[in-house]
Amino acid sequence: MDINKKKAFELYKKTADLGNASGINSLGYCYKNGIGTDIDKKKAFELYKKAANLKNRAAQYNLAFMYENGVGTVKDMSKAINWYEKSAEQGNQNAQNKSNKLKL
């Protein structure tokens, strides 16, 4: 099982290095959760931000979560809401729910 996690990390890294937004987001997930690598929340935040700026809705949601909870960055609710809204605009229903909840 450990070998598969390392292989997954390596493959995500390859796709991320090619500029693939989904691969960048997945690599961020690996760093956030220690899958095939050491946990590095700041690196995860940076990768989510890069993929979010490439308009990856999953990354936008993940970045919003990081801002909302101060994971790998300083907690910033206005940035969290902004990124949840960007993700929601692309059809992410979970992001829409979060955005509405946080604005109350």
- CATH label of the domain that carries residue 71: 1.25.40.10
Q: How many distinct structural domains can be found in the chain?
A: 1
Map residue 104 onto helix, strand or coil. Answer: coil
pLDDT digits (tens, 9 = 90+) for 21-71: 999 999 999 999 999 999 999 999 999 999 999 999 999 999 999 999 999
- Helix 57-69 with 77-89: angle, nearest 10 deg: 160
pLDDT at 3: 73
**Whether the Cβ atoms of residue 79 and residue 52 lie closer than 8 Å to each other:** no
CA angle 26/38/44 to nearest 5° reads 40
**pTM, to two decimals:** 0.94
The residue range of the domain holding 35 is: 3-103
Q: Which helix (H) or strand (E) holds 37?
A: none
69 vs 26: CA distance, rounded Å? 19
pLDDT mean over 4-19: 95
pLDDT digits (tens, 9 = 90+) for 76-97: 999 999 999 999 999 999 999 9
| 2 pLDDT more than 90 | no
